[in-house]
Structure formats: C-alpha cells, structure tokens
C-alpha cells in the first residue's frame, strides 16, 4: 500500500511538473494570439542566449536568428519574465508615442536594485516630467550655449595636450576620465585631484558588475557592483548633507538646483530621489559618451577619406575665424554639418543601447497579435539601424548617408540611438556637443596612429575588451 502511495505521489509530481513546463512554454492569451516565439527553459527563459557575447556590429545572433524564424515581432522570456521583442519600426514608434497611456518604462529587478528604486528610469508621469525639466537646467540649450560649450572645449584642450606627451593612451579610459571629471564638476563641483575618495574608481567597479549574474556574495562581480554603488552614494550623501548644513551660497552646479528643490516647503522630490538622480547622471557621463567617442575615432582611423573630409570642415572653421586664438562659438558649433553626420553614423553603428524596455499597461493589438497587459516589450534599435531596407549597406561606416535624412538633429522611427517619445535622452545634445568639440580640437591640432586594440565585444552592450590604444602627435 505504501509503495502504491509513493508511486502515485511520484507520478503526480511528474505530471504536475510536465504540465507546468508545458504552460511555461505555451503561455495563453485570452484576448487574441500571442506573437510567435520560444519561452526557453522554465525560470531562466532565454536569458543566457540573450547575454551570449558576440564580436560584430551586426544585429546580435540572438535577435537575427529569431527574426528569420518568427518575423520582426516575437516572444521570449528574459530574467524569468515574458517579453515581446520588437524589431518593427512601426511598433517601436507606437510604443514610444504611447508612453504613459499604453506603455510605461520598465527595467529588470536587478537594474532597479543597481540604479535605485527611485532612479529616473523607474519614475512615470508627472514625476518623470518634473525631473526631466530639472535636468534640462543643466543640459538644456541655454546652458549648452552659455556655459558648457566653453567648459567642454577647455577640458578637451587640456586633456589632448596632456595625452600628446605620452607614448600611448588607452582612448576609452582616457575619454571616460575626461568626460567624468567635467560632468562631475558641473553636477556636484567635484574635483578628483583634491578629493580623498575616487568616485571614478567606484564607478569602474560598478560598471564591471553591471551586466553579471545577480548573486550578492563577496568576490562576485555583482557584489563589487553593489559596493561601488554604495560607496558613490555615501560620497554624494555626505556632500549633500554638508551643503544643506552650511550657510547657503551658489556653487554654480546642478547640486544648487537639487538643494533649492529639496528646501522648498512642499518639495516634490526626496533626498533618495535626488541621490539616485545624481548617481544616474554621473554614470551616464562616465560610460556612454566615451564609448561613442572611442568608436568614432576608430572609425575615422579606419576610414581616412572620412577623416580628411572632417578635417576640411574644421580647418575651414579656423580659417574663417577672425581671431584664431578664440574658442569655438555657438554659431561655429551649429555649422558643423559633416561632424553631426559622423556622430549620427557612429551612434547608428554603435547601438550602445541594445534594447529599450517598456511594460504594457493594457492588452495591445498589433498586426494580428496581442501583447498582453503586464508583459514587457523590448524595442530593439540595432535591428532598425542595421536594416538594409532602411540603410543601404548598413554595416558600412558612411556619414554621408545622413546628408538627406531628417533625423540628423533628432530621432525618428528609423533612428533611436537616443530613444524616442517623451523619454528621448535628455543628455543627447550634451553628448553631441562633447563629441563635436573634442573632434574639432583633435583633427585641427593633432594627428594620431593606432597602436593596438580596438576590437569590440557585445554582451549585449558594447565594450572594448582590449581597449583602443593610440599615440597622439601635435600638428606643426
């Protein structure tokens, strides 16, 4: 009898397990047909395949293989959650335009833990718009024109001069340091040379564990990532406390704006929101623009014809300047047409953001398929940027393709390097300014040669595993 009970229990467990696996792999939708696809293994889904490294500028094998099999819109499972992946320009555009109505910003739980539950990507509606308007006080057009243009050029001049005295520089690290120091100064008046605690060092630890298996145990990359975040927040919190407890005076940085908001009688932000915002802005300055700038210089090195045309544009600016010793004016910056084409083409091929996540707030019907409420949707910019039906010879670096494209100064359903809709990257113009001014100083005052490195790897984000080492030579 006991044997029969045990056998019955074992069979029941097997049946339930098989049923659970079947239900996992074949989810139901009560209001229509789900997009085709595979949900992968229970709990893990297809997460490991998604994060599998590759060394190409092309669409990742994970996405490319599924487009061939299922079409431009398919379902999968990432980090244990059902996800619809969209490589369709029309659906992508629709998702961005319906922010706050049919979709809202979403990122995996590990992302929320790493960047903070009050980070700007996790906020919605009025609160997000409010923080965006706050950030535009620093990165908006007036600030770019009146303050940041001059500061960016000063930083570029000083760093390039310093680098030219070295036999070799690793460009990604060097540009990261330059951009981080500049942005940290504008955000919080942080001077790395006079500080006992290196914010930059902690961001390096943070970055190395950002895309890692989320096991918070000593010795793991994820643990070092969380420790890096903890150390950065400690520095920011101490600085905020010191500022708020000291007699009020203007420092001319973004912290002034934050403290002014915090001190209002009915402040809309908390200290936690303020600190998470500062953390996110520092991280963005540390990583994304330096990646794009490093890649741009690699492309210019590999395409001397493009470098020659870019140099001609900037030499012409110098020739037309009344006083060659003055810095770049706003009018000169706005005239850098080919430079902006180089920047857009770099951003198109770089695809630094391999996926942009949203969550469906309602059941969404699209081309005969249903995206159920609560499901996540991943907009995939690389699949659009590298689509041969949109961009001829998409893997070729060709800035001139932007000559007739309306997206040169913004975004569209065919260009999403800086996102789209109401969440279009608030720092996009600042990033372009930094790249343009750096390239101006570089091509007019220096030549260079590549020494080693420059190969890329995607996991799925862009990286230079061996760096990109160059040597600079001042022009006569």
- Give the pLDDT confidence score for residue 1 in this predicted structure: 60
The pLDDT tens digits for 235-285 are 888 888 888 887 777 778 888 888 888 888 888 888 888 888 888 888 777
> What percent of the chain lies above the pLDDT cut of 70?
85
pLDDT band at 164, cuts 50/70/90? Answer: very high
Q: Is the pLDDT of residue 307 over 50?
A: yes
> Cα–Cα distance between 255 and 181 in angstroms, integer?
15
Say if residues 83 and 74 touch (Cβ distance below 8 Å): no
Residues 6+ apart with CB under 8 A from 363: 31, 32, 370, 371, 372, 373
Eight-state DSSP code of residue 41: B
Instruction: Give the H or E element holding residue 19.
Output: helix 2-25
Residues 6+ apart with CB under 8 A from 168: 451, 469, 470, 471
The pLDDT tens digits for 111-124 are 666 666 666 566 66
CATH label, 1-474, candidates 1.10.630.10, 3.30.70.1230, 3.30.70.1900, 2.60.40.10: 1.10.630.10
Q: Is the pLDDT of residue 20 over 50?
A: no
H helices present in 209-336, as ranges? 221-245, 254-262, 271-302, 304-320, 330-334
Q: What are the strands of the beta sheet with 446-453, ordered from one edge? A: 169-170, 468-474, 446-453
Say if residues 152 and 182 touch (Cβ distance below 8 Å): yes
Eight-state DSSP code of residue 401: G
The pLDDT tens digits for 427-466 are 889 999 999 999 999 999 999 999 999 999 988 888 899 9
Judged by DSSP in three states, 224 sits in helix
> What percent of the chain lies above the pLDDT cut of 90?
48
Q: Is the pLDDT of residue 196 over 50?
A: no
The pLDDT tens digits for 359-381 are 999 999 999 999 999 999 999 99
Q: What is the mean pLDDT of residues 102-131?
A: 72
Angle between helices 149-163 and 428-445 (to 10 degrees): 40
More confident residue, 67 or 25: 67
Q: Does 425 appear as a known binding residue?
A: yes
Say if residues 275 and 237 touch (Cβ distance below 8 Å): yes
More confident residue, 207 or 187: 187
What is this structure's pTM?
0.90
Strands 81-86 and 376-379: parallel
pLDDT band at 10, cuts 50/70/90? Answer: low
Q: What is the mean pLDDT of residues 24-29?
A: 66
The pLDDT tens digits for 174-183 are 999 899 889 8
- Give the pLDDT confidence score for residue 184 in this predicted structure: 87
Phi–psi pair at 360, nearest 5 degrees: -75, 130
Q: Is the pLDDT of residue 75 over 70?
A: yes
- Give the pLDDT confidence score for residue 169 in this predicted structure: 97
Q: Is the pLDDT of residue 411 over 50?
A: yes
- Give the pLDDT confidence score for residue 15 in this predicted structure: 45
Q: Is the pLDDT of residue 14 over 60?
A: no
**Torsion sign across C-alpha atoms 198, 199, 203, 206:** positive
- Give the pLDDT confidence score for residue 238 in this predicted structure: 87
Give me the residue spans of the domains in the chain: 1-474
Q: What is the mean pLDDT of residues 154-169?
A: 96
- Give the pLDDT confidence score for residue 19 in this predicted structure: 39
User: Token pair of 331, please?
Assistant: 């009018």
Q: Is the pLDDT of residue 22 over 50?
A: no
- Give the pLDDT confidence score for residue 17 in this predicted structure: 46
| Chain mean pLDDT for the chain | 85
- Give the pLDDT confidence score for residue 25 in this predicted structure: 61
């Amino acid at each position: 009898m006991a044997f029969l009970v045990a056998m019955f229990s074992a069979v029941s467990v097997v049946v339930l397990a098989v049923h659970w696996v079947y239900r996992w792999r074949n989810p139901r939708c009560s209001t229509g047909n789900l997009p085709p696809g595979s949900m992968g293994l229970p709990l893990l889904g297809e997460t490991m395949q998604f994060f599998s490294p590759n060394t190409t500028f092309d669409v990742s094998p994970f996405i490319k293989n599924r487009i061939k099999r299922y079409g431009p819109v398919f379902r999968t499972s990432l980090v244990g959650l059902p996800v619809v992946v969209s490589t369709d320009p029309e659906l992508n555009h629709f998702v961005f335009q319906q922010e706050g109505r049919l979709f809202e910003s979403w990122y995996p739980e590990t992302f929320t833990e790493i960047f903070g539950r009050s980070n700007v990507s996790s906020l919605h509606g009025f609160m997000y718009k409010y923080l965006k308007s706050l950030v535009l006080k620093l990165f908006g057009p007036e600030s770019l024109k009146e303050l940041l243009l001059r500061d960016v050029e000063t930083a570029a001049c000083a760093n390039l001069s310093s680098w030219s005295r070295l036999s070799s520089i690793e460009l990604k690290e060097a540009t990261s340091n330059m951009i981080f120091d500049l942005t940290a100064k504008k955000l919080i008046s942080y001077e790395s040379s006079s500080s006992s605690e290196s914010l930059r060092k902690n961001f390096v630890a943070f970055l190395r564990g950002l895309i890692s298996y989320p096991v918070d145990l000593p010795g793991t990359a994820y643990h070092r990532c969380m420790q890096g975040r903890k150390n950065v927040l400690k520095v920011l919190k101490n600085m905020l406390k010191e500022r708020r407890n000291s007699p009020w005076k203007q420092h001319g940085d973004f912290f002034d704006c934050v403290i002014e908001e915090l001190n209002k009688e009915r402040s809309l932000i908390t200290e936690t929101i303020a600190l998470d915002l500062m953390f996110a802005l520092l991280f963005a300055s540390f990583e994304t623009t330096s990646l794009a700038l490093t890649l741009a210089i690699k492309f210019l090195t590999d395409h001397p014809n493009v470098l020659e045309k870019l140099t001609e544009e900037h030499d012409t600016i110098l020739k037309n300047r009344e006083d060659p010793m003055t810095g770049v004016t706003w009018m000169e910056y706005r005239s850098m047409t080919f430079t902006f084409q180089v920047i857009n083409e770099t951003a198109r091929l770089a695809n630094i953001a391999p996926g942009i996540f949203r969550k469906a707030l309602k059941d969404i019907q699209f081309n005969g398929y249903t995206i159920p409420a609560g499901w996540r949707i991943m907009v995939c910019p690389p699949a659009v940027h590298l689509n041969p039906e949109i961009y001829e010879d998409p893997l070729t670096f060709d800035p001139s393709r932007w000559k007739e494209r309306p997206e040169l100064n913004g975004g569209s359903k065919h260009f999403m390097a800086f996102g789209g809709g109401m969440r279009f990257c608030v720092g996009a113009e600042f990033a372009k300014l930094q790249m343009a001014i750096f390239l101006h100083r570089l091509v007019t005052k220096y030549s260079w040669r590549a020494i080693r490195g420059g190969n890329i790897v995607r996991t799925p984000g862009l990286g230079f595993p061996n760096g990109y080492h160059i040597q600079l030579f001042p022009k006569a």
